[in-house]
Structure 1
Amino acid sequence: MSYLETTAEFYAEAAQTPQVGLCCVQSSPLQLPGLKISEQMQEMNYGCGTTVHPAELSNEPTVLYVGIGGGLEALQFAYFSRRVGGVVAVDPVSAMREAAARNLKLAAQENPWFDPSFVEIRQGDAFALPVADASVDVVAQNCLFNIFEPADLSKALQEAFRVLKPGGRLIMSDPIATRPIPLHLQQDERLRAMCLSGALTYEEYIQQLVDAGFGQVEIRARRPYRLLDCQSYHIDQPLLLESLDSVSFKVEIPADGPCIFTGKTAIYMGVETFFDDNAGHILQRGVPAAVCDKTARKLAMSNPGDILTTNATWHYTGGGCC
């Protein structure tokens, strides 16, 4: 049995009997005015973070959600689009699609603004998304892509890139590893299905996004997720997994490399009232300006006495000068 078959079997079981404690279901979902979420839907919140960032969801976007789970985030996305077919949710597991459909019917009873037609559930998988080229504004997935082996992850990211409109956004939440996962854990198909052994390091994860063609990546959050202990996982030292929320933009990769925003800022401290690097970055004296990692590095190297660059906060929601 392949790891994808193991994953399908695992989530078919989870669809029929909610696995409380799988991923981060113990955390509270995003609260929105007028949105009620059933206990059953919360129990099936098989994610490691959130992909629902209101600032990314203006103007009633068309959203493609990959891996529907219990339907919670599909419902949250529908909150912003509120129209027939505004959200397309894709899942290869029939039991999961059926469970999500039941949960969304219940949601319609509890939320007067919601109609099940707002979420169109389709059979399909991340490697062959059942939508046309350049047809959606947002692609989202929560704690799914980390399950894939690197070659399959590359396929999934290329598919997401294909279906996004120019300027569209890939919103993801996945575990990442603070050091490479030992091979014996990577090869454990059930641990991989449980989002515990397929995680890449941060550097590998971001490189996969850039290789797929995304020219700008913004980190929304990075926080502890799970600790793999020595006794249970037969490793020499504990291995921390982190949860990474990111937004990747379908824009051209600049000639000098992609823009990766991790919450760094640049602060001009020279004698003039402002600093202009003649590359689109104007810094007022003493005022922190959000910059991408690439720009922070360049400014620090070229003006070490005049510009202070701060460390990554692993949180960025716009406002940069790049």
Structure 2
Amino acid sequence: MSYLETTAQFYSEVAQTPDVGLCCVQSTPLRLPDLVVPEAMQAMNYGCGTTVHPAELAGEPKVLYVGVGGGLEALQFAYFSRRPGGVIAVDPVAEMREAAQRNLAIAAEANSWFAEDFVTLLAGDAFALPVPDASVDVVAQNCLFNIFEPEDLSRALAETFRVLKPGGRLIMSDPIATRPIPAHLQQDERLRAMCLSGALTYEQYVQRIVRAGFGQVEIRARRPYRLLDRQTYQLDEPLLLESLDSVAFKVPIAPDGPCIFTGKTAIYSGSESCFDDGAGHVLAKGVPAAVCDKTAAKLGAIASEEIWVTPSTWHYDGGGCC
């Protein structure tokens, strides 16, 4: 049995018998006016963070959600689109689609603004999304892509790039590893299905996104997710997994490389009222300005005594240099 077959079997089981602690989600579901999340849907909240960032969802976007789970985030996305077919949710596991459909029916009774046809459930997988090229504004996935082996991850990222409109956004939440995961854990198919052994390091993860063609990546949150202990997982030392929420934009990669925002700022402290690097970045004296990692490195190099570059905060919500 392949790891994908093991994963399908595993999620068929947890669709029929919800496992509340499966992904160890610690964050409170997004609170929005008049949004009621059914208990059955919350019990199937199989994710490691969130992909629903209101600032990304202006203008009633067309959303494609990959791996529907219990339907929680599909419902949250529908809150912003509010029209028939505004959200398409794709899942290869029939039992999961059936459970999500039941949960969405309950949600329609509990939320006066919501109708079941706001979410279209389709059979399909991340490697062959059942929508045309350049047809959606947002693709989202929560704690799914980390299950894939690296080359399959690249296939899934390429497929999301295909279906996004120019300027569209890939919103993801996945575990990442603070160091490479040992081979004996990577080869454990059930641990991979449980989101515990397929995670890449941060550097590897972002590199795959850029290789798929995304020219800008923004880190929305990075926080502890799980600790793999020595005894249970046969490790020399404990291994921390983190949850990474990110947004990748389908924009061209600049000649000098992609823009990766990790929450860095640049602060000018020289004698003039402002600093202009001649490349579109103007820093007012004493005022922090959000910059991508690439720009931060360049500014630090050209005026190291006059410009302070602060470390990554691993949180960024727009308004930067690019």
Q: Tell me which interval the TM-score lies in, with the shorter structure as reference length.
A: over 0.9
Give the SS at the match of 1:311: coil
Q: Counterpart amino acid of 1:104?
A: L
Q: State the partner residue of 2:310.
A: 310
Distance 2:292 2:72 in 1: 32
Deviates more, 1:190-199 or 1:18-27: 18-27
Distance 1:300 1:155 in 2: 36
Q: State the partner residue of 1:127.
A: 127
Within a 5 Å distance, the mapping from 1:189-228 to structure 2 comes to 189-228=189-228
1:263 paired to 2:250? no
Q: State the partner residue of 2:79.
A: 79
Within a 5 Å distance, the mapping from 1:261-300 to structure 2 comes to 261-300=261-300
Q: Is the 8 A contact 1:219 1:315 kept in 2?
A: yes
Q: Measure how far apart 1:302 and its partner are.
A: 1.1
Q: Is the 8 A contact 1:25 1:42 kept in 2?
A: no
Give the SS at the match of 2:161: helix
Paired positions, count: 322
Q: Counterpart amino acid of 1:191?
A: L
1:148 paired to 2:148? yes
Give the SS at the match of 1:42: helix
Give the SS at the match of 1:138: strand
Q: Percent same amino acid among aligned pairs?
A: 77
CA RMSD of aligned residues (A): 0.6
Distance 1:317 1:235 in 2: 36
Distance 1:278 1:25 in 2: 45
* Offset from partner CA, 1:15-43 (integer Å, 9 cap, x none): 00001101134542111110001111001
Query: Judging changes above 3 Å, is the alpha-carbon distance between structure 1 residues 32 and 274 closer, same or farther for their aligned structure 2 residues?
Result: same
Runs of 4+ residues over 3 Å off in structure 1 = none
1:321 paired to 2:304? no
Q: Counterpart amino acid of 1:186?
A: Q
Q: Is the 8 A contact 1:24 1:49 kept in 2?
A: no
Q: Measure how far apart 1:103 and its partner are.
A: 0.2
Q: Is the 8 A contact 2:168 2:250 kept in 1?
A: yes
Structure 1: any 5+ residue segments left out of the alignment? none
Within a 5 Å distance, the mapping from 1:35-74 to structure 2 comes to 35-74=35-74
Q: Counterpart amino acid of 2:153?
A: L
Give the SS at the match of 2:98: helix
Give the SS at the match of 1:168: strand
* Offset from partner CA, 1:190-216 (integer Å, 9 cap, x none): 000000000000000000000000000
Q: State the partner residue of 2:19.
A: 19
Distance 1:24 1:282 in 2: 43
Distance 2:23 2:95 in 1: 19
Q: Measure how far apart 1:177 and its partner are.
A: 0.1
Q: Is the 8 A contact 2:173 2:243 kept in 1?
A: yes
Q: State the partner residue of 2:251.
A: 251
Within a 5 Å distance, the mapping from 1:157-196 to structure 2 comes to 157-196=157-196
Distance 1:270 1:101 in 2: 60
Q: Counterpart amino acid of 2:78?
A: A
Q: Counterpart amino acid of 1:245?
A: D
Distance 1:288 1:26 in 2: 31
Q: State the partner residue of 2:241.
A: 241
Give the SS at the match of 2:138: strand
Q: State the partner residue of 2:95.
A: 95
Q: Measure how far apart 1:319 and its partner are.
A: 1.1
Q: Counterpart amino acid of 1:167?
A: G
Distance 1:216 1:268 in 2: 24
Q: Is the 8 A contact 1:25 1:44 kept in 2?
A: no
Q: State the partner residue of 1:6.
A: 6
Give the SS at the match of 1:108: helix
* Offset from partner CA, 1:193-246 (integer Å, 9 cap, x none): 000000000000000000000000000000000000000000000000000000
Normalised by the length of structure 2, the TM-score is 0.99
